[in-house]
């Protein structure tokens, strides 16, 4: 009998718990994590990429707090472990094993070309460690371990996904079909949310000016204030055009949260000033972020539940990823130990 049931695609993504989650993280990635988890065409699995964060020096107590805070915030954004297991990367040793394997199939030249490595080694010039350099191999392993078809991320991760595809194809060309070749899944309007203060730079928690970045924990008042202070231009016309970086960014954010097209936004704000537009963008963002912040405040009180969720998710992740590790190791020539039943 022909199997007519469509095979579900596998979705994997991860986020670093390196401080408060931003509106950029949410609109660029987390919102798609939730949409995909709720779509019956996909089987989703997500991770908190804590191993990635130690490429930059962390203070132990702050790191522990950041991990739990980020876990609670991702759940508050809508990730539901009953639909999509959400685990902590370091709880699954297969990630470290696969990172080592892939390091041996990734070229020095390829890693040298990564813009994130160049940026971070400039920013942390006193600690350009080997982990910072081989970070993309760890990330490639994260994705390939689960045979992911799709990886929902923001545009800044595109280069890492390309490298993942190249390394997977190289490995497959030597050993046969071991890894699925994954694709990035990048949103249309909000793939690169920019700073509200320096709209030529990506919105990031490390923005020198705190007004540039909306944190998902910001109160409604703070969000409104940050949008009211957003940098614009002297034209005073709400339209999407080259050179209008501030307005383009506000339009992209507004389009992402309301679902309106740029033409509709231009029509709605025809003849109105930037003040009205900034207020509308602020209110639309508050409507989206406020219920998430309230859910976060509930989850963060319940450490027991968080622990139960990440423990259960890690068991699942270990089981699934062990199949890929075993297969890759056998193909390479390793001898595997005898397994108990
Ligand atoms: P991270 O933790 O920096 O960011 C998490 C996700 O948020 C997206 N993002 C943005 N999107 C739009 N506009 C912005 N201003 C913005 N800032 C961040 C990122 O693109 C990302 O999707 N290396 C990854 C984490 C990672 C990973 C993986 C991702 C580790 N392993 C495997 C996918 C698959 C990172 O540092 O993302």
The string of DSSP codes covering 269-336 is TTT--HHHHHHHHHHHHHHHHHHHHHHHHHHTT-HHHHHHHHHHHHHHHHHHHHHHHHHHHHHHTPPP
Mean pLDDT of the chain: 96
Ligand 1 contact via 28 beta carbon (within 6 Å): yes
Least confident span in 31-35, 122-126, 147-151: 122-126
Residue 199 lies in a domain: no
Specify whether 120 is catalytic: yes
157 shares a domain with 121: yes
**Same structural domain for residues 147 and 284?**
no
Residues 90 and 125 in one domain: yes
Residues 62-88: tens digit of each pLDDT: 999 999 999 999 999 999 999 999 999
Among protein residues, the one with the nearest Cα to ligand 1's atom 7 is 25
CA proximity to 195, closest of 154, 245, 269, 255: 245
State whether the beta carbon of 132 lies less than 6 angstroms from ligand 1. no
The number of the ligand 1 atom at minimal distance from the alpha carbon of 52 is 30
β-strand partners of 43: 10
176 belongs to a structural domain: yes
My answer on whether 103 and 54 are in the same domain is: yes
Residue nearest to atom 14 of ligand 1 (CA): 24
CATH assignment of the domain containing 269: 1.10.240.10
Q: 173: burial class by Cβ within 10 Å (0-12, 13-18, 19+)?
A: exposed
Mutate to test the pocket of ligand 1, among 22, 28, 148 (most ligand atoms within 8 A of CB): 28
Q: What is the mean pLDDT of residues 135-147?
A: 98
Burial 199-228 (b: 16+ CB within 10 A, else e): beebbbeebeeebbbbbbbbeeeebbebbe
Residue 255 CB less than 6 A away from ligand 1: no
Ligand 1 mean position, distance from CA 338 (Å): 38
* Spatial distance between the Cα atoms of 163 and 107, rounded to a whole number of angstroms: 10
Indicate if 127 and 100 belong to the same structural domain.
Answer: yes
| CB-based burial, 62-92: b 16+ in 10 Å, e otherwise | eeeebbbbbbbbbbbbbbebeebbbbbbbbb
Determine whether 202 is an active site residue.
yes
Distance of alpha carbon 217 from alpha carbon 73, whole angstroms = 9
- Do 176 and 217 lie in one domain? The reply is no
Q: Is 179 exposed, middle or buried (0-12, 13-18, 19+ CB in 10 A)?
A: buried
304: its two tokens: 């027991």
Percent of the chain with pLDDT over 70: 98
Q: What is the pLDDT of residue 205?
A: 87
Domains held by the chain: number: 2
**72 and 172: one domain?**
yes
* pTM for the whole structure: 0.96
Query: Residues with Cβ < 8 Å from 30, sequence gap 6 or more?
Result: 15, 21, 74, 77, 78, 79
Domain identity same for 292 and 308: no
- Looking at the structure, tell me whether residues 217 and 185 fall in a common domain: no
CATH number for 126? 3.40.50.620
Coil, helix or strand at residue 151: strand
Residue of 157, 192, 321 to mutate, ligand 1, most atoms within 8 A of C-beta: 157
Per-residue pLDDT reduced to its tens digit, 304-331: 999 999 999 999 999 999 999 999 999 9
Provide the pLDDT confidence category of residue 4 given band limits of 50, 70 and 90.
low
Residue 81 domain flag: yes
Residue 341: inside a domain, yes or no? Answer: no
Residues of the domain holding 225: 210-298
Residues 183 and 275 in one domain: no
Q: Which of 225, 216, 226 is nearest to 195 (CA)?
A: 226
Q: Is 157 in the pocket of ligand 1 (CB under 6 A)?
A: yes
Task: Report the pLDDT value the prediction gives residue 1, as an integer from 0 to 100.
Answer: 44
**Residue 83 is among the residues annotated as catalytic for this protein:** no
Residue 121 has pLDDT above 80, yes or no: yes
Phi/psi of residue 238, nearest 5 degrees = -80, 95
Task: Clarify whether residues 18 and 143 are in a common domain.
Answer: yes
State the average pLDDT over residues 144-152.
98
Cα 330 to ligand 1 centre (Å): 32
């Amino acid at each position: 009998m022909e199997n007519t049931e469509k095979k579900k695609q596998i979705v994997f993504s991860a986020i670093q718990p390196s401080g408060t989650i931003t509106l950029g993280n949410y609109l660029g990635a987390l919102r798609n994590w939730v949409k995909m988890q709720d779509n019956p065409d996909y089987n989703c699995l997500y991770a908190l990429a804590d191993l990635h964060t130690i490429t930059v020096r962390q203070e132990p107590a702050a790191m522990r707090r950041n991990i739990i805070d980020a876990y609670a915030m991702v759940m508050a954004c809508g990730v539901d472990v009953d639909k999509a297991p959400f685990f902590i990367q370091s709880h699954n040793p297969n990630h470290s094993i696969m990172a080592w394997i892939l390091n041996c199939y990734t070229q020095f030249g390829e890693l040298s070309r990564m813009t994130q490595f160049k940026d971070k080694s400039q920013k942390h010039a006193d600690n350009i460690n080997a982990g910072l350099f081989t970070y993309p191999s760890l990330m490639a392993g994260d994705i390939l371990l689960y045979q992911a078809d799709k990886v929902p991320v923001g545009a800044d991760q595109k280069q890492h996904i390309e490298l993942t595809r190249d390394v997977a194809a190289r490995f497959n060309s030597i050993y046969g079909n071991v890894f699925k070749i994954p694709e990035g899944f990048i949103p249309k309007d909000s793939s690169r949310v920019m700073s509200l203060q320096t709209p030529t730079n990506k919105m990031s928690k490390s923005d020198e000016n705190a007004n540039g970045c909306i944190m998902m924990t910001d109160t409604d008042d703070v969000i409104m204030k940050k949008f009211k202070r957003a940098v614009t231009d002297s034209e005073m016309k709400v339209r999407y055009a080259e050179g209008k970086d501030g307005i383009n960014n506000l339009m992209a954010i507004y389009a992402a949260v309301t679902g309106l097209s740029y033409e509709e936004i231009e029509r709605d704000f025809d003849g109105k000033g930037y003040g009205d537009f900034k207020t509308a963008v602020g209110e639309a963002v508050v409507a989206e972020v406020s219920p998430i912040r309230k859910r976060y405040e509930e989850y963060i009180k319940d450490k027991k539940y968080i622990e139960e969720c990440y423990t259960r998710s890690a068991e699942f992740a270990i089981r699934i990823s062990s199949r890929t590790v075993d297969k890759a190791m056998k193909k390479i020539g390793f001898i595997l130990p005898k397994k108990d039943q």
